[in-house]
Structure 1
Amino acid sequence: MADSQLFEETFSITSINGQKYDRVSRIFGTSTDNTTSMSLDINHELFPTATGESVQMVLATTLNLDGTKDEKGWREVSRAESTLADMYDYVCHGKVYRFEEGDGEMIKVYCSFGGLLLYLEGPYKKLTSLRIDYIYLLLKK
């Protein structure tokens, strides 16, 4: 995992709740090693999923392949440049807004991507790097 990639995991989708909003579903998943659980709001028209599918998730500080910080801003990337986003099907930019350390080894991380929420719960060792404010969420099947 590169320095810019804070978290990388493959999740098996255990359930999907798409009843509340027209284009948004909340997917629930468990990591392949069963140590980390997640809940994520996604636009299911852009990234359709089904229960039982596997989804690879990466949380990164930058989309630059060399790991350098974004100087232009996330919307101003030139189409001539290759970025980390080119390798994924669904990309969002957001903020880690809450980080809870409980008793023991498990911690909780809350992120918002323009109102679409991500909740991760897992071992301290895996999630402690997510203390950085702004991150990119990248998903692919």
Structure 2
Amino acid sequence: MSTDSILFQDIFDIKDLDPQGKRFDRVSRLVGRSENYEMDLTLDFNAEIYPLKVGEKFSLVLASSLSLEASASVGGVEKKESWRERAPGERDLSDEYEYVMFGKVYRYEDSNKGSTAGQQVQGKLIVFFFFFFFVSSVYVSYGGLLMCLEGDYRHLQNLTVGENIYLLMRK
């Protein structure tokens, strides 16, 4: 399997489901935290066809293509692909996952957050260090089901506004 099309991949632990209450019959919103990159995820999903529970873990992949081939572009021109054009017996990335959605990145936000570490000694604050870290948030719409992935910008730099992406999940 080629990893050229994989833009982000991690394992998430579900911390909460429908934190602001259930608004739709078949849709739930999960809040999760990733194990490897410490990313925060808020995701709307179809709970009727893919039920999830608080405390469960799942693998999440964001990919630009479902193709298992090395590249989906020929001569710098992106090859138009459709999941319906698969030949009989041909496999793609979706065969390895249980839940797949197709959507578009519609917003990308950067913010600076600062933090200090220090200790108070005899009434005086001694600051050991001060550091900034950049947090990015990527927003994707999957036909009205929304996703926000937030964390270190280095893990999200492959995602660009206007890009079509696939979300793939498995428990």
Q: TM-score, normalised by structure 1?
A: 0.92
What is the CA distance between 1:11 and its match in structure 2?
Answer: 0.5
| Separation (CA, whole Å) in 2 of partners of 1:93 and 1:130 | 14
Matched, 1:89 2:98: yes
More strand by share: 2
What is the CA distance between 1:79 and its match in structure 2?
Answer: 4.4
Higher-Rg structure is 2
Contact 2:100 2:168 in 1 (8 A): yes
Quote the RMSD (CA, aligned, Å): 1.7
Structure 1's unaligned 5+ residue stretches are: none
Alignment of 1:1-141 (within 5 A): 2-17=3-18, 19-33=22-36, 35-69=38-72, 71-103=80-112, 104-131=133-160, 133-141=163-171
Q: Which residue identity is paired with 1:14? A: K
Structure 2's unaligned 5+ residue stretches are: 73-78, 113-132
Deviations along 1:39-84, whole A, 9 cap, x unmatched? 0000011111000000100000100111432533234334421000
What is the CA distance between 1:94 and its match in structure 2?
Answer: 0.5
What is the CA distance between 1:2 and its match in structure 2?
Answer: 1.2
**Which portions of structure 1, spanning 4 or more consecutive aligned residues, are displaced by more than 4 angstroms?**
none
Q: TM-score, normalised by structure 2?
A: 0.77
Between the two proteins, the alignment pairs up a number of residues equal to: 141
